[in-house]
Amino acid sequence: MSEGNSGESKPRAGRTADGRRQLRGALAVAALDLFAAKGYESTTVEDIVAAVGVGRRTFFRHFRSKEEVVFPDHDERLAGVVRELEQAGESEPPMAVVCRTAETVLDMYLADPEVSLKRFELTRQVPSLRDREIVSIDRYQRVFARYLRQRFSEPPDAELRAAVTAATVVATHNHVLRRWLKSGGGFDARAALREALHEVTAEDTRVSSPESAADTGEVVVGVVRTSTSVHAVREQVERVLREIGENDSD
């Protein structure tokens, strides 16, 4: 945190793209530390900028709110996922592309375990932050589903297959990530995710359900225990999507 407390280096560094990323990171780390020490509600923007040695205007050039500082790089991560999917070759199987991209998302969390663990503890304590996290999960799921719809060309269930597969991959990723976070980073999450994705994608992901189930625009959020098997996660996702289709057809 010594660099984050320097009132001179950070404002100058913020003039370049790399410097702006460093400053955003410093603000985020300072905020997470203060939230842990003082509580989320009790920490003010003034507290955060004082810890880093910058002014309020600098903070609001990077973040629209105190809530946003908890997720400083989400938009950048999502853009990276979109680029990786767009750059994938047509000869590569779509499931291999999506699973590889899911590993990339996990790597973003593993790259800075201290921040990831602090954020995890915070989102467990503050409902509004947990809600924001759920919204971010849905955005990843929609990106995966859009890519898979473009690659799955077999009617009549391409849309449903894409929706089920995207939901399954995201649920599996989050299942492994949450286990890793709850363990304090105590196991090889990347290897665990690769094995889990292999299990859930080894079988055909098609399900029998009305085609309209994939086009409802509903957000499907799965809540499962970390001890739940990846096959059970997949079955829960498929069951929910079937129920959506049945309700829409009534």
DSSP 12-42: HHTTSHHHHHHHHHHHHHHHHHHHHHH-TTT
Q: Is 53 left (phi over 0), alpha (psi -120 to 50) or beta?
A: left
Superfamily of domain 74-205: Tetracycline Repressor, domain 2 (1.10.357.10)
Assess whether pLDDT exceeds 80 at residue 10: no
Superfamily of domain 17-69: Homeodomain-like (1.10.10.60)
Q: What is the mean pLDDT of residues 96-112?
A: 94
DSSP 43-70: --HHHHHHHHT--HHHHHHH-SSTTGGG
Assess whether pLDDT exceeds 80 at residue 221: no
Q: Using one digit for the tens of pLDDT, what is the confidence trace for 162-217? A: 999 999 999 999 999 999 999 999 999 999 999 999 888 775 444 333 343 344 44
Q: Is 210 left (phi over 0), alpha (psi -120 to 50) or beta?
A: beta
Of 13-27, 56-70, 222-236, the poorest mean pLDDT is in 222-236
18 vs 35, more confident: 35
Assess whether pLDDT exceeds 90 at residue 40: yes
Tell me the pLDDT of the chain averaged across its residues.
80
Predicted local distance difference test score (pLDDT) of residue 46:
96
Amino acid found at 29 = V
DSSP H or E run through 86: helix 74-87
The structural domains of the chain, with segments of one domain joined by +, span: 17-69, 74-205, 211-247
Residue 192: closest CA among 220, 165, 229: 229
> What is the reported pTM?
0.72
